[in-house]
Structure 1
Amino acid sequence: MTQPMPWAFSTLGAPGRPVAEHVDRALRHGCTGIELRVHADESVRTDLSARERRDIRDQASGEGLALPCLAGYARICADVPDAAVLTELRALIELAYDLGAPAVRVFPGGTGGGTGGEDHGDADRAERRLSALLPEAAANGVTLLLETHDSHPTGAAVASLLRPFTGERAVAAIWDALHPWRHGEQPDETAQALDGLLGYVQIKDAVSASDTTPVLLGSGAVPLDVIGRALDERAWHGWVSLEWERAWYPHVADLDAVLPGARAWVDQRSRAG
């Protein structure tokens, strides 16, 4: 029997809602996990008390749901003092440990990495900070997932930052389906660049490369079928998460209207595997 692919949705798609509502939504749509957004506007924050953390963990685990990733907003390449970045990420690692989440999403947030990660300042900051954090992350069973985003939107760019840590289990990449493609990197190129580095996949669809307004999966321009084939060819059986950006586009459809399409995409991958 084919092993079903684990899949989740990001709570970015229903901003400000309580964890209990997300748990109910996950159960209704057959999700196996929930990607919790960590933000001041959400019920999941780094200032939660020990009791609040236990409550969140118990709500998910009590229903058999995983919390595969905490979607943080720390920027590993940011041109700010190291202490600010390290403090933010240490708080996220601690929160992940307390919630039983095995990973934390990290943005590059550099000054000019572009599609090839050419900015040496960005690379130096990332290497220095990851070197300081990875022993702590590993000790807590937490992986730092660097997303194809902002200053380093392609697989090649993110791989350039992760290359010094090849073989480290506490750091990996998130392939965000939109950003590499909209910056000119084709799915096969992204998959090749992240070979051996991929730790998580976020799926979404958008009107076009220039208009990133979210649309129902399969109705936009993001080549999700091609991305799916690239993952199938590499026997990807890791987590896939729907990132429906309703926090930034409040006029788009409710998350519940999008989840059936995400489930269909995941089911197709499971059958292919």
Structure 2
Amino acid sequence: MGMKLAFSTLGVPGTTLPEVLALASAHGFQGVELRAHPEEAVHVGLTPAERADAAALLRGSGVEPLALAGYVRVAAPGDDAPVLAELRDLLRLAHDLQAPFVRVFPGGESAEADAIAARRLGTAAEDASALGVRILLETHDSHRTGADAIRVLGPVGHRRVGALWDVMHTWLGGEQPAQTYAALAPCLGYVQVKDIASAEDTTPLPLGAGVLPLAECVDVLRRGGWDGWLCWEYEKRWYEHAAPLPGLLAAGHDHLVRLLDGTV
């Protein structure tokens, strides 16, 4: 099949779903990662009718809903109940939109963070299985490397719980792409690519204009025979002065194609 390409709506904050799908279609992206937040077009507060309308738009566009990028912090301290309720809401929305994945963050702050996250993910895995959705723990914040993430995912051991590899965070954590892939390959859902100027300046840049080892990451994936999704996460939402994403999509798509061809 070969790897497929998507971009995140984090790069086009506040854009309507038809506008997002038009951008994807116009620039050759097969999928979109939908930021699930009340300020965006897709979020858990949508009514059944609104969900049906959004699902129909997605089906009609030919652009796949890769994932719902939520903000559940599965390793956060406190009671399990509100965390699980938030995650179940996200799973139901993904099911309604026919998105295969939901993204969660670690957000751990204690020595028990691994056990807390594993317990919650193990519980939520049954809901995910019933709904036909997969929960992906992103390499992020308290668990930014593959080695960190697998400490949680290993004990869960459920096919409906996996990993989302954010290449910036594993790089910031000092992990080499081959190490990350070795840790996450058995449970890897998809990969978020991006580029930045330095560890000190994480303002988003056009793909290939920064320091992240994108070619090495894609080479590792290719040599491993992995054929999932690469999703460009351009964090415009958090960096007001970053260049607008729509004007970068054509060149970004071409850069990703060259990475896949091994010509970068």
TM-score by length of 1: 0.92
Secondary structure at the aligned position of 1:8 is classed as strand
- Residue 5 of structure 1 contacts residue 266 of structure 1 at CA under 8 Å; is this kept in 2? no
**For 2:228, which of 206, 225, 238 is the aligned residue?**
238
Match of 2:29 in 1: 31
Q: Paired residue for 1:156?
A: 147
Partner of 2:65: 67
Structure with a larger share of its residues in helix: 2
Work out the CA distance in 1 between the residues paired with 2:200 and 2:18. 36
Residue 165 (structure 1) aligns with: 156
User: Secondary structure of 1:27's partner?
Assistant: helix
Greater shift in the superposed pair: 101-110 or 232-241: 232-241
1:1-273 equivalent positions in 2, closer than 5 A: 3-112=1-110, 119=111, 121-166=112-157, 168-271=158-261
Matches of 1:21 and 1:243, distance apart in 2: 17
What percentage of residue pairs aligned between the two structures are identical? 45
Q: Please tell me whether the aligned partners of residues 2 and 228 of structure 2 are also in contact (alpha carbons under 8 angstroms).
A: no
CA distance in 2, matches of 1:30, 1:4: 15
Runs ≥4 in structure 1, deviation > 6 angstroms? none
Tell me the distance in 2 between the aligned counterparts of 1:127 and 1:148.
15
Structure 1 residue 195: Cα displacement: 2.2
**Per-residue Cα deviation, 1:15-72 (whole angstroms, up to 9, x for no partner):** 0111010011011001111110001211111010011001111111102111010000
Report the Cα distance in structure 2 between the residues aligned to 1:137 and 1:265, rounded to whole angstroms: 34
Distance in 2 separating the partners of 1:207 and 1:80: 36
Structure 1: which 5+ residue stretches go unaligned? 113-118
The CA distance in 1 between the partners of 2:169 and 2:49, in whole Å, is 37
> What's the C-alpha RMSD, in Å, of the aligned pairs?
1.3
TM-score, with length taken from structure 2: 0.95
Indicate the SS of the match to 2:238: coil
Instruction: Name structure 2 gaps, 5 residues minimum.
Output: none
